[in-house]
């Protein structure tokens, strides 16, 4: 195994977002490409935003997607949260309880690289409001930077509330090399003296992430490019501790179709929504891999193993990638077509039941026939009820499309419907023999052929002149439903 160690380190502040899954995926693919290690760490130091059940949802979503965790937080065989690895705990709140961060913050304070700040939130807000009004970048004004350490310790002993801030050097350029974006430079005068320890004693993300990445021997930090402006603070912290910084890789933003951030806050793109819509894990993962990364070929359909073999950050785009749901449907459709009819039937059944089209006792034979009939048109499992609904609705609920409505008014339609009804009356049921021969029989009796034959019959039975194999449709609907449907057409068109 190589020494490459990557981590996905989400906060349990809600359900897993599609942008988060892509970040996890790119970490995972690079770990597999380099024979490295994929670590999952949970960054839950912001207790105000903690959401109950979010951790379990995250782990189940990763498990569903096929993004495997080698080390850190994971689910055991009983779906219980557990941890594996020698650098734990892997949940930050547990690391706080274990006192892991204490000696590191004390070191920075003793070396005058961090300081105690006693300013109230009210004062900080006023300072920032004034700076905004003056057209300045809002940031902490450094009031507490010069308080002598002994005086600060006395104030703490007297019960004053405090935070600990990073003491950035004045007017200093901090540069780092990003694998995707190239060299990035910030001046410390444009940066804030970041809070490292909050009033509640919990470390902030910026402090804990550096300590944890160092202690867990992370070699590559792969995250969204919204973290670029924070990276100089992290780079400086590495320097302050005398540690080697990891390599930074900031991924392009996932954009919606309006080219704005595909945001969790707007309720866009939660992974559980894609699962609920009936996307396959393989389809979603294949699509996400191509969201900002391009393979060294024209291919677009890949297994996870094929993705890992080809994946490298050198082919990741610098600019944002648009989440195109039509492309997702196209990619996912490939995986639907590859399923056996029986497997597809099993997958669409819950969606058919939920829609009220069928109940749990619907026959496997008919469900398999339904899956076979629509397999070439289903892109995600939730498509099945929409595509097949006219087979299950009562005749007064069916929706005839515009083209079908026009065809049903044509003079030959009544003649064809009557011919079909006559043959239907002679049959005990619609079996395979009837379904396969009825149209030829009507053609011989009426002399009508081609689309002049097929369009009216199909329109009368299904509500559309286009669709899948009509003999399958007849078998699915059965004699009684078709009889009622055709009589309704005679009376209403």
Catalytic option among 181, 264, 346, 423: 264
Contacts of 440 (CB under 8 A, 6+ apart): none
Strands 173-178, 81-84: pairing is: unpaired
**Alpha carbon 57 to chain centroid, angstroms:** 12
The residue behind tokens 């609907």 is 477
What is the torsional sign of CA 151, 156, 162, 165? positive
Judge whether 386 is annotated as a binding position: no
DSSP designation for 270: B
Q: Is 264 known to be catalytic? A: yes
Residues comprising the chain, all counted:
493
Structure tokens at 228: 């670029």
Contacts of 66 (CB under 8 A, 6+ apart): 281, 282, 285, 304
SS3 465: coil
Q: How many angstroms separate the CA atoms of 397 and 392, rounded?
A: 10
DSSP designation for 183: E
25 touches 71 (CB < 8 A) = no
DSSP designation for 382: T
Q: How many angstroms separate the CA atoms of 82 and 211, rounded?
A: 22
End-to-end CA distance of the chain: 72
Residues in a beta bridge with 186: 174
SS3 262: coil
Axis crossing angle, helix 102-110 with helix 231-241, rounded to the nearest 10:
80
Other beta carbons within 10 angstroms of residue 433's beta carbon come to 9
101 touches 114 (CB < 8 A) = no
Among all residues, which ones are annotated catalytic?
Answer: 264
**Residues placed in the known binding site for ATP:** 264
């Amino acid at each position: 195994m190589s020494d490459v160690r990557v981590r996905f380190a989400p906060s349990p502040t809600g359900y897993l977002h599609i942008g988060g899954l892509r970040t996890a995926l790119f970490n995972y693919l690079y770990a597999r490409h380099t024979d490295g290690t994929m670590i999952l760490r949970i960054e839950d130091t912001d207790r105000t935003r903690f959401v109950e059940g979010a951790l379990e949802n995250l782990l189940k979503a990763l498990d569903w997607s096929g993004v495997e965790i080698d080390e850190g937080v994971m689910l055991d065989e009983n779906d219980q949260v557990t941890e594996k690895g020698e650098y734990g705990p892997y949940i930050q709140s547990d690391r706080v309880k274990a006192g892991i961060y204490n000696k590191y913050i004390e070191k920075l304070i003793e070396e005058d690289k961090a300081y105690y700040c006693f300013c109230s939130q009210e004062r900080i807000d006023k300072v920032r409001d004034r700076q905004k009004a003056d057209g300045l970048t809002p940031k902490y004004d450094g009031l507490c930077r010069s308080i002598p350490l002994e005086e600060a310790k006395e104030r703490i002993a007297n019960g004053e509330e405090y935070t600990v801030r990073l003491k950035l050097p004045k007017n200093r350029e901090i540069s780092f090399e990003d694998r995707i974006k190239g060299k990035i430079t910030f001046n410390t005068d444009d940066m804030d003296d970041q809070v490292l320890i909050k009033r509640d004693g919990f470390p902030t993300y910026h402090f804990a992430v550096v300590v944890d990445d160092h202690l867990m021997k992370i070699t590559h930090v792969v995250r969204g490019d919204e973290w670029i402006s924070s990276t100089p603070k992290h780079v400086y912290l590495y320097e302050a501790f005398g540690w080697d910084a990891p390599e930074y890789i900031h991924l392009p933003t996932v954009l919606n179709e309006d080219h704005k951030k595909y945001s969790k806050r707007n309720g866009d793109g939660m992974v559980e929504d894609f699962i609920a819509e009936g996307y396959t894990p393989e389809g979603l993962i294949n699509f996400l891999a191509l969201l900002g990364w391009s393979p060294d070929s024209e291919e677009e359909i890949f297994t996870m193993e094929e993705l890992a073999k080809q994946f490298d950050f050198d082919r990741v785009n610098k600019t944002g990638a648009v989440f195109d749901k039509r492309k997702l449907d196209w990619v996912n459709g490939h995986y639907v077509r590859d399923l056996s009819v029986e497997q597809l039937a099993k997958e669409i059944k819950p969606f058919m039941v939920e829609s009220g089209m069928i109940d749990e006792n619907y026959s496997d034979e008919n469900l398999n026939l339904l899956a076979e009939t629509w397999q070439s048109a289903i892109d995600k499992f939730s498509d099945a009820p929409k595509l097949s609904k006219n087979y299950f609705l009562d005749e007064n609920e069916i929706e005839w499309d515009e083209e079908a409505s026009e065809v049903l008014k044509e003079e030959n339609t009544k003649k064809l419907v009557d011919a079909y009804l006559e043959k239907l009356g002679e049959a005990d049921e619609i079996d395979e023999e009837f379904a396969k021969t009825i149209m030829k029989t009507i053609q011989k009796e009426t002399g009508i052929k081609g689309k002049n034959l097929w369009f009216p019959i199909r329109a009368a039975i299904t509500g559309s002149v286009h669709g899948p194999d009509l003999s399958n449709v007849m078998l699915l609907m059965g004699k009684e439903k078709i009889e009622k449907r055709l009589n309704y057409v005679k009376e209403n068109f």
